[in-house]
């Protein structure tokens, strides 16, 4: 039985680093819906404080759309963080922690 091609989106440091076609890929569990892969992304963010990981797809278009979704997710977190810093009055207590990121 020939293995089907898969497409892998590689995310490191919350940045999409690669979208790769994997020919002859072994049988892997691949999310079957946008909801499943979005849940995987959200779970990684909750557990690790980032969306880093390898995400597999059976279709190149789905892989591309997921890469765009991932970058948009990080963009929105960045925009909210920027707004919180811009709105913060640092004349009193100076310490600030990003509420959208795990503690470091």
Distance (Å, whole) CA 81 – CA 100? 8
Reading the chain (104 residues) residue by residue, the pLDDT tens digits are 456 789 999 999 999 999 999 987 667 778 777 788 888 888 888 888 889 999 999 889 999 999 999 999 889 988 988 988 888 778 877 787 776 665 44
Is 103 a member of any domain?
no
Is 93 a member of any domain?
no
Domain count along the chain: 1
Is 33 a member of any domain?
yes
Is 95 a member of any domain?
no
Is 70 a member of any domain?
yes
CB count, 10 Å around CB of 67?
20
96, two tokens: 């600030």
Is 55 a member of any domain?
yes
Query: What is the pLDDT at residue 1?
Result: 45
Say what the pTM is: 0.78
Domain interval for residue 52: 6-87
């Amino acid at each position: 039985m020939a293995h089907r091609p898969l497409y892998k989106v590689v995310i490191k440091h919350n940045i999409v680093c690669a979208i790769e076609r994997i020919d002859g890929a072994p049988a892997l569990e691949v999310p079957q819906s946008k909801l499943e892969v979005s849940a995987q992304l959200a779970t990684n963010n909750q557990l690790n404080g980032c969306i880093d990981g390898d995400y597999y797809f059976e279709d190149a278009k789905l892989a591309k759309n997921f890469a765009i979704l991932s970058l948009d997710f990080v963009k929105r977190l960045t925009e909210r963080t920027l707004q919180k810093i811009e709105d913060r009055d640092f004349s009193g207590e100076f310490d600030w922690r990003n509420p959208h990121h795990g503690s470091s």
